[in-house]
Amino acid sequence: MDFLKGEIFHIDKPYGWTSFAVVGKLRYHISKRIGVKKIKVGHAGTLDPLASGVLVVCTGKATKRIDELQAGVKEYIAEIKLGATTPSFDLETEIDATYPWEHITREQVEDVLKTQFIGCIEQVPPSFSACKVNGKRAYKMARTGAEVELKAKTLIINEIEVLEFEGQRLVVRVLCGKGTYIRALARDIGVELGSGGHLTRLRRTQVGDVRVEKCMTVDEAVQLIQTTEVVMPEKD
């Protein structure tokens, strides 16, 4: 392996880890393995701590391909709780409002998804996101209780389908383009159903041609770094 020339790792990010923490762990072990203090390591497409699944990590000169890699289509399996909302649109924050949900049927859900959430759509990102407002990260402002106004973005949903529906629990598969916030999708689906909604579980199962079944764990990546033959950097 040649970490400076560039390697690409396909990681199954565990629940609870930040994408930055995964990058940091791999960077530490790569630096230790080849004896350099600094090496470029980055990821293509952030996954929230409360999400798991495909995270593409690049090293060295391969970091120049990050924009290209994160532009690929992404597939998610998302679990949504209907009838309640949270400020972050997921489980990071507590429920702030509840709504009727008993009127919702599977047929209604499928109709709303088909007519409102396929193709080119407008989506307002969550306040608890890495979007910048006047040079500041939105989530940092939101956590202080400040009002955060974000503009709607145009994005593409290629496919969306119901996998499970029972009571307040809705599970959907989403195939979408770059920039889609599945948390915001959960919010918007709840609104269109005359209720509320927030994300309770999220797994990214595909990025471009990379399927989660083919990804390695963080520990497997570390073992690969420690045991595989590597190209050592030239010494001055």
Of the residues 2, 12, 48, 96, only one is catalytic, namely: 48
Within 8 A by CB and 6+ apart from 171, the residues are 77, 78, 79, 80, 162, 163, 164, 165
User: In this structure, what DSSP letter does residue 205 have?
Assistant: E
Q: Beta strands 197-207 and 51-59: pairing type?
A: parallel
Q: Which two tokens stand for residue 12?
A: 């199954």
The phi-psi region of residue 110 (left if phi > 0; otherwise alpha if psi is between -120 and 50; otherwise beta) is alpha
Half-sphere exposure of 229 (CA within 13 A, CB side): 0
Active site residue 2: no
Residue numbers annotated as active site: 48
